[in-house]
Amino acid sequence: MMRTGKLLVLLLVALALHSCFKKDKMIAPHPKSDATTDTIPLTQTYLYQVYFSLDSARSVATDTKTSFDLGFECSQAGWHILLNSSDFMKAGDMGTLTLGEAHDTTGLKWLFDKSDGDPDSTAIGQWFSVKGNDTVSNKHLYAINRGMDELGNNLGIYQVQFDSLKNNTFYFRYAPLKGGAIVSASVNKVPLVSCNYFSLKTGTVKQLEPPRNTFDLLFTQYTTLLFTDQGIPYPYLVTGVLSNRQNVKVALDSVHDFISITKEIALAQNFSGALDAIGYNWKFYSFSTGSYTIRKNRNYLVQGITGKYYKLRFIGFYNLKGQKGYPVIEYQQL
């Protein structure tokens, strides 16, 4: 557990390092096995998100983490609206204010989407009531803080009103927080993906996610909550791995040696469907060396999207030039 003061110091130091982009020191590589090895190019500023398939041993899609702001759930009964947590986005319910007028966020309670993917823990929450076969807005205005780009620049705040979900289409309107022209928008559900995305900056729909049955893991930055010794939640932007929302499960094995793990050992583990079951804690930052080090004895067992089992571990976080932001993984089907 980190103390509040330590967390603030770490955050300031991390931001300073992030803005200056000092060259990180190269660290010794992790001993390798005969498993498949891949390097995931997030880059030094963590600009990219990479969707990765263990079955095909390759990335199946890549996009920039600033490509979208809102994700609209595409399942048949889906109604959730998600934030782009890779940009440290947050939202607040401003109540029944008038869309398009000038507003501020003084005293507003900001919320973040929970990083484990719990659908009942989204920042926007239930924005509607059900009338017949349609969902109808509660007519609340939501402040949507777009967070920060890969360089730490603030992306601005919008006011958004979600109007309805009819015939598999989300309808909503938005304007700058300080007032201005109201833009009307809509996002259709796409059956083959978990979410369809929208950019408030460009006013365009972004079909970024590959078909949900084609990937297992998403390498990306994302927002999570750390806790002080007093149990106070503290939002923090981390770099790690999220699971496919569709039936990918993960277990942590810190007992067995990676090479000795068998399918029988895997089947005896307790698997989790949390999105952040792999997460970010497979590495740690050393302020004394100015570099990231991979934690030893952290093996991840993954039940992939096709039901196959894999063992996976991290063996590095740097490319051959010594640049951070290039996670190196070893994995093998069991």
Predicted local distance difference test score (pLDDT) of residue 230: 84
Copy the structure tokens of residue 284.
């740690």
Q: Within the chain, where are the H helices?
A: 4-20, 263-267
Sheet holding 299-303, edge to edge: 36-39, 324-333, 309-318, 299-303, 249-253
For 45-79, the pLDDT digits (tens) are 999 999 999 999 999 999 999 999 999 999 999 99
For 311-321, the pLDDT digits (tens) are 999 999 999 99
Segments making up each domain of the chain, as ranges: 4-64+212-333, 70-205
Three-state secondary structure readout of 100-112: CCCCCCCCCCCEC
CA 153 to each of CA 88, 226, 315: distance values in angstroms, whole numbers, following the listed order: 11, 23, 31
The answer, yes or no, to whether residue 18 has pLDDT greater than 90, is no
Give dist(CA 331, CA 254) in Å, integer: 16
Chain centroid, CA 212 distance in Å: 16
If we measure between CA atoms, which residue out of 238, 225, 223 comes closest to residue 89? 223
Q: How high is the mean pLDDT of the chain?
A: 90
If we measure between CA atoms, which residue out of 306, 309, 331 comes closest to residue 264? 309
The pLDDT > 90 percentage for the chain reads: 80
Give dist(CA 328, CA 319) in Å, integer: 8
Copy the structure tokens of residue 324.
């951070």
Contacts of 321 (CB under 8 A, 6+ apart): none
Predicted local distance difference test score (pLDDT) of residue 52: 98
If we measure between CA atoms, which residue out of 214, 85, 184 comes closest to residue 144? 85
- Which pLDDT band, with edges at 50, 70 and 90, does 13 fall under? very low
Copy the structure tokens of residue 43.
């880059």
- Which pLDDT band, with edges at 50, 70 and 90, does 228 fall under? confident
φ, ψ (nearest 5 deg) of residue 263: -65, -35
Predicted local distance difference test score (pLDDT) of residue 221: 98
If we measure between CA atoms, which residue out of 168, 209, 158 comes closest to residue 74? 168
Give dist(CA 149, CA 66) in Å, integer: 6
The length of the chain, given as a count of residues: 334
For 153-167, the pLDDT digits (tens) are 999 999 999 999 999
Predicted local distance difference test score (pLDDT) of residue 11: 40
- Which pLDDT band, with edges at 50, 70 and 90, does 119 fall under? confident
Burial category of 10 from C-beta neighbours within 10 Å (exposed 0-12, middle 13-18, buried 19 and up): middle
- Under 8 Å between Cβ of 73 and 195: yes
The answer, yes or no, to whether residue 207 has pLDDT greater than 60, is yes
Q: What is the pTM of this model?
A: 0.87
The answer, yes or no, to whether residue 200 has pLDDT greater than 80, is yes
What is the identity of the amino acid at 83? L
Neighbours of 284 (CB within 10 A): 10
- Sort strands 36-39 and 48-53 into parallel, antiparallel or unpaired: unpaired
For 265-286, the pLDDT digits (tens) are 999 999 999 999 999 999 999 8
C-alpha dihedral sign at 11, 16, 20, 22: negative
Give dist(CA 175, CA 304) in Å, integer: 41
Predicted local distance difference test score (pLDDT) of residue 288: 86
Q: Tell me the DSSP string of 67-98.
A: S-SEEEE-STT---EEE-GGGT-EEEE--SPP
The answer, yes or no, to whether residue 289 has pLDDT greater than 80, is yes
